[in-house]
Amino acid sequence: MHSTLRTAALAIAALGLAATASADVFTKEQLIKLSKEKAGGGQGTLLGEYAFTRDKALKDHAIKEISWLTLAPGDSIGYHPHTTNEDTYIIISGRGTFKDKDGREVPVKAGDVTIVRKGEAHGLANTGTEPLVFVDVIAEQ
């Protein structure tokens, strides 16, 4: 019986913790639509839907920007440095070429994840025939 009471007490405590924890939800309808021409010195238009942008990020939060981004065929994000933050692309659909920190071009497709660290540079080009859709997460320590 003692272990049953202890289990129940732990479950109640866990429920209390869950009730006080919070998480942010950004619905698709709430996302900020923002397009960038020649992003990072690239070609064409980068279409974005942002949960929040860097200028709205709180100083003590590691994630500074998170978004769904789309590049049309032939469009690109130019090769650019990240001096104070890190950047991750999670490829959702389409095909492209990721230019890594060493300037090497690497083919990317749905399911691939790229990371550039603070002090490194990167770029991305849509080399396919359909939109290149990816999630972008920018974080800073």
Residue ranges of the domains in the chain? Answer: 26-139
pLDDT band, residue 141 (cuts 50/70/90):
confident
Q: How many other C-beta atoms are found inside a 10 Å radius of the C-beta of residue 92?
A: 16
pLDDT at 134: 98
* Confidence grade of residue 13 (pLDDT, cut at 50, 70, 90): very low
Place of tokens 């972008």: 136
Instruction: Name the phi and psi angles at 43, rounded to 5.
Output: -115, 145
Residue 15 buriedness (CB in 10 A; 0-12 / 13-18 / 19+): exposed
Q: What angle do CA 61, 122, 113 make, to 5 degrees?
A: 70
Least confident of 6-10, 36-40, 75-79, 103-107: 6-10
Architecture of domain 26-139: Sandwich (2.60)
Residues 41-58: what's their mean pLDDT? 96
List the beta bridge partners of residue 139: 63, 86
- Measured CA distances, 75 to 17, 45, 46 (Å): 47, 7, 8
How many residues are recorded in the chain?
141
Q: Is the pLDDT of residue 126 over 60?
A: yes
Q: pLDDT tier at 23 (50, 70, 90 boundaries)?
A: confident
Per-residue model confidence as pLDDT tens digits over 53-107: 999 999 999 999 999 999 999 999 999 999 999 999 999 999 999 999 999 999 9
pLDDT for 1: 45
Tell me what pLDDT residue 34 has: 97
